[in-house]
């Protein structure tokens, strides 16, 4: 996937994510990246695979969203 919109499309088109919800990246933006990071930090206590990526910290510090990474945004 090259951008968050690609992930949303893939999940809705081929992996059963409810299309009406727009995709997991869209939902993460709606819920808020601060809450996403909080959840990831909690989950990473059980498995490091869930550790928040540095990109998430950068987006939060710049006041941006995942959608801002999509082309044409």
pLDDT digits (tens, 9 = 90+) for 19-67: 999 999 999 999 999 999 999 999 999 999 999 999 999 999 999 999 9
Give the integer Cα–Cα distance in Å for 43 and 25. Answer: 18
> How high is the pLDDT of residue 73?
80
* Consecutive H or E run containing 28: helix 24-31
Angle at which helices 4-14 and 24-31 cross, to 10°: 120
Give the integer Cα–Cα distance in Å for 56 and 32. Answer: 11
């Amino acid at each position: 996937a090259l951008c968050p919109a690609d992930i949303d499309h893939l999940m809705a088109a081929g992996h059963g994510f409810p299309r009406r919800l727009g995709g997991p990246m869209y939902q993460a933006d709606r819920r808020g990246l601060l809450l996403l990071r909080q959840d990831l930090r909690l989950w990473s206590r059980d498995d490091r695979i869930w550790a928040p990526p540095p990109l998430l910290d950068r987006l939060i510090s710049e006041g941006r969203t995942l959608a801002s990474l999509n082309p044409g945004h």
